[in-house]
Amino acid sequence: MTNDDRLSGISVESDPAMPGMGTLVIRTWHEPDQTPGFRARIIHSQAPDDEPTTVSTADRDEVLSVVRQWLFAQPVPPGKV
């Protein structure tokens, strides 16, 4: 990650009290010759060392479902319930 990629005010240093979090990447595009034209590819893992899972879909609701499942499976830091 370069400095240009970091969000202002966000530290990339590891906090030992904070459990490791996974990764979620969503790529969307439009395919005009397909119905529906919406397409998405979601690549996610629950922990930094996990093998990523890939989901491809043309269903917006499926994208939202995968994101919700991923978010709710992420560890919650102690005292942040």
The predicted-structure confidence for 2-54, as pLDDT tens digits, reads as follows 444 434 443 444 455 555 678 999 999 999 998 889 999 999 998 888 899 99
- Between 65 and 35, the more confident residue is 65
pTM for the structure as a whole: 0.67
CA atoms within 13 A on the CB side of 35: 0
Contacts of 60 (CB under 8 A, 6+ apart): 38, 40
- Predicted confidence band at 1 (pLDDT cuts at 50, 70, 90)? very low
pLDDT value for 68:
95
pLDDT value for 80:
64
